[in-house]
Structure 1
Amino acid sequence: MVALGNDNSTLRLAGILLCYVLFVGILFGQANAVHKKGVSILFVGNSLTYYNNLPELVKQNAKTHGIRLKYDLVAKPNYAIVDHWAEGKVQKLIAKNKYDYVIVQQGPSSQNEGRQMLIESGKDYKQLCEKSNTKLCYYMVWPSQTYYHTYDGVIKNHRDAAQLNDAILLPVGEVWKAYFDRTDNFQYYGPDGFHRSLLGSKVAARVIVEYLLKDKK
């Protein structure tokens, strides 16, 4: 005699397992699609961006999180974001390439002139990014060791600019200062007391990826 109850239980179990397999397959397919698409970034800045090839370090760090990252770089010595805007290249790149993120950087900007550049020129970048469905990010840097006393101004001006322009803040400089205050060890600075050491560059890349990952959640 066939036990119908047992057959029904077996069918129910088989159905549950099939649903589970299909659900996992869908999730895997979605995750795989995101992985294949990857993330694209435009870096805009000066030597504090291109020194030690920071964009490539960001790419390598992202890879450890399973993220395929591609980037373009527009950076020249001593340039502020307003200087890049005046040349016009960044506008063409943003409009043409449809980046996920545009990461802008200029000098420490602790004084009023630098603050106004961050805020006012940042508005121009923000408006263009919105048209291209791109997110604007501020890469917060740091003062030289000689002007370490201006550090709080650097942090405040970058935070204010990001908030006023509804942009993502990548607080590398703030993370550095927390480490310096805690350890009294300034190894993130390079020999010139301003540009990054290789360790400082790796920390900067880690912070950038960490905060971009927070945005993607």
Structure 2
Amino acid sequence: MKSLFLHLVKISGILGFLGLNACSNQPQLPPGPYGSHPHEEIVRRVAEKTDLAVLFIGNSYSFGVPRAFTRLAAANGRKVRTAHATYSGWTLARHAANEATLAKIRNGRWDIVVIQEHSVIPSLPAGKRDAEMLPPLRSLVTEVRKQGAVPVLYQTWGRRDGNKDVRHDDFHKMTGRLRDGYEAAAKNAGCLVVVPVGDAWEREFSAGNGAELFMPDGSHPSVFGNEVTARAFYEAFFGK
């Protein structure tokens, strides 16, 4: 019995080091008004509006997105109003505790609020990812819902060469982990729409356009990267 106990303690320590848990105790938010069909909420909101008000919350991955999205919408005869609460390197935990971010959510009369986590956190091992991402995400989603807006998640992309802290990583592997992380977060935060920007980047990367997506640092978006991102948002909100 003692040997079994020590074995379990050892396993628990290894899981903790890796950021994993045997089970998740993260509470979930109830689904939004359209339950397991959250995109219907966006369709209805867009149909009600002659101009769409969209707030982007995130970090430097979102710096150029509002402008690129506004230009694309205008080119297609759509009127949108955008703003952003974006700070370099910020996590959702910092946003959830930041009065300036919360004031923008409360005072803008937004139709849609786009929420983007730090570029690495959603790709972490599940336990560590959930502990860092889910509590502030639920807090922000609750605030967005209180203001009558629709919260959506912005699934980002893997770095050009993957996460340097993960052995044998690459763009595709990191993008896959980010996809899984955002899907898990969307379920936990009330069955949210995930705008699959990372998937759009992956299609361009696989088509041989990877070098054009990134700035020289291999992480942040180029002008073309922002255009690909804006197109993913346009299709998510207005259709193809």
- Interval of TM-score (by shorter of Structure 1 and Structure 2): 0.7 to 0.9
Q: Is 1:104 equivalent to 2:126 in the alignment?
A: no
Instruction: Tell me the amino acid that sits aligned with residue 120 of structure 1.
Output: P
Q: Give me the whole-angstrom Cα distance separating, in 1, the residues matched to 2:53 and 2:49.
A: 12
Residue from 60, 68, 73 that aligns with 1:47: 60
% identity of equivalent residues: 20
Bigger Rg, structure 1 or 2: 1
Q: How far did 1:183 drift?
A: 3.6
Corresponding residue of 1:84: 95
Instruction: Tell me the amino acid that sits aligned with residue 124 of structure 1.
Output: S
Specify every segment of 5 or more residues in structure 1 that has no aligned partner in the other structure, as ranges. 1-30
Structure 1 residues 185, 91: closer, same or farther in 2, change over 3 A?
closer
Residue from 71, 86, 89 that aligns with 2:82: 71
Q: Is 1:59 equivalent to 2:59 in the alignment?
A: no
Contact 2:92 2:118 in 1 (8 A): no
Q: Give me the whole-angstrom Cα distance separating, in 2, the residues matched to 1:169 and 1:184.
A: 23
After superposition, residues 62-211 of structure 1 pair within 5 angstroms as: 62-108=73-119, 109=121, 110-112=123-125, 113-147=128-162, 148=170, 149-165=173-189, 166-183=191-208, 185-211=210-236
Contact 1:135 1:168 in 2 (8 A): no
More helix by share: 1
Q: Write the deviation string for residues 136-191 of structure 1: whole angstroms up to 9, x where unpaired.
A: 11111112123123221111101221233222211111121133234474421221
Q: Give me the whole-angstrom Cα distance separating, in 1, the residues matched to 2:210 and 2:228.
A: 14
Contact 2:215 2:222 in 1 (8 A): yes
**TM-score, normalised by the number of residues in structure 1:** 0.75
Structure 1 residues 100, 181: closer, same or farther in 2, change over 3 A?
same
**TM-score, normalised by the number of residues in structure 2:** 0.68
Corresponding residue of 2:14: none
Structure 1 residues 34, 77: closer, same or farther in 2, change over 3 A?
closer
Instruction: Tell me the amino acid that sits aligned with residue 79 of structure 2.
Output: R
Structure 1 residues 163, 47: closer, same or farther in 2, change over 3 A?
same
RMSD (Å) for aligned C-alpha atoms? 2.3
Q: How far did 1:45 drift?
A: 0.9
Higher relative contact order (CA 8 A, sep 6+): 2
Q: Give me the whole-angstrom Cα distance separating, in 2, the residues matched to 1:59 and 1:119.
A: 29
Look up the SS of the partner of 2:104 in the other structure. Answer: helix
